[in-house]
Amino acid sequence: MSTAPDIATVLACAIGAIPAHKLQALSARLERAVGRPLTSVRLDDANIVRQRLREQLRTEGATLGMVQSYEQLFMGIVRRAAVSGVVDAPPEGPWTTEWQSVLDVADVPPKHAKTKAAVRSLAAWATAQGVSPADVDVRHLELWVTSMAIHEQAPREKAELALSAWRAHGSAYNDQTRRKRLLRKAQSGSVKHAASI
């Protein structure tokens, strides 16, 4: 997708599928999180917006359960919009689209098939720290290993291998491939297709 739609357009994909009061509450919280009307904010990376929503809810004193509920609601709507072709498929976890491309490389068999768990951990940690894959260096890897209490060398080596492959070759997947993968999940029942709701 060349130009990302605004957040309001993405949320509109859920009208009729989600109770109006929940959609209104999510919209209000998202608007406070991004600090502008949702029609003026492009949804370039859903997890960046998700992070801002989480931070806003925490400053408002929301419970952990409420924070998780709003995050899941928002990402569910983004996935519905992606299946409908309104927005590119979001990352498959709490990491940025750029980190998803590293995971896509890590998932390509057979060379990198066993690296995905380590890279998922690193991607989630690095996203929370605001570190992109291009910026990861030895110091970041050491901080990640320490903060996650990883005692073996293998996860770090696997993460380094995936990052090296990503830097050398880029992502094996593109947005269209990710959308097809999301559509397969929708057809198998893990993500509901907007037309079937």
Task: Specify the pLDDT at position 188.
Answer: 63
DSSP 106-163: HTSTTTTTT-HHHHHHHHHHHHHHT--GGG--HHHHHHHHHHTT--SSHHHHHHHHHH
Do the Cβ atoms of 5 and 43 come closer than 8 Å? yes
Beta strands in 53-109 (DSSP E): none
Q: How far is the CA of 3 from the CAs of 6, 40, 56, 86, 168, in angstroms?
A: 9, 13, 26, 10, 27
CA dihedral 139, 145, 146, 148 (to 10 degrees): 140
What is the pTM (predicted TM-score) of this model? 0.66
Nearest to 102 by CA among 170, 148, 179: 170
What is the spatial distance between Cα 74 and Cα 191, in angstroms, rounded to a whole number? 13
- Look up residue 53 and give its two tokens: 């929503």
Q: What is the per-residue pLDDT for 196?
A: 40
Average confidence (pLDDT) per 10 residues, the chain, 197 residues: 83 92 96 96 89 94 90 89 85 81 71 70 88 91 88 84 80 64 65 43
For the chain, the structural domain boundaries read 7-90, 97-169
Phi/psi for 18 (5° steps) reads: -125, 140
Residue 10's contacts (CB-CB under 8 Å, 6 or more residues apart) are: 43, 77, 78, 81, 86, 87
